[in-house]
Amino acid sequence: MDDPGKLGLRHDYPAPITVADTDYPSVAHAYWALSAAEPETRHAIAAAGTAAAARTLAAEAPRREGWEHARTAVMTRLLRAKYDQHPELAEVLLATDDATLIYDDMNSAFWGDNAGRGRNWSGRVLELVRSELQARRAGILGV
């Protein structure tokens, strides 16, 4: 894999992950698939050709009950999987040291910073996962 630079931190970066015995082409595919209420829709979203297509399919589907309250925990689990399963991308994240991570996602005021108007939860969760990777590397708490 070529050095992805900071693009490797994006949820739509093509870094396949396996979560609960299901393979997804990217974190974005997994996130949108897991948001859907119907299993058939989840499969179609996971198989979408691009992360944008996965998002479009998910936008047309009913959400799982309680999704809004679970979505941050789900994203955290997916990002942990991404960086555990792709050590080269974990190195990209670790190289950000202790910088504040601003996630540019103009489609979401929840996940993105949106020029200071969004909540930047993607950046926050990336910082949490980075901290866990740093703790693991330092042998702190066996994380």
Could you list the mean pLDDT of each consecutive 10-residue stretch along the chain, which spans 143 residues? 85 97 98 98 98 97 98 98 98 97 90 92 98 96 66
CA distance 79 to 62: 24
- H or E element that contains 102: none
The amino acid at 29: H
Q: Do the beta carbons of residue 89 and residue 82 sit within 8 Å?
A: yes
| 6 C-beta neighbours (distance < 10 Å), count | 12
> Where would I find the H helices in the chain?
27-35, 39-46, 51-59, 67-85, 87-94, 121-138
Handedness of CA 75, 80, 85, 88 (dihedral sign): positive
Domain spans of the chain, in order of start: 13-68, 86-143
- Quote the pLDDT of residue 105: 83
For the entire predicted model, the pTM comes to 0.95
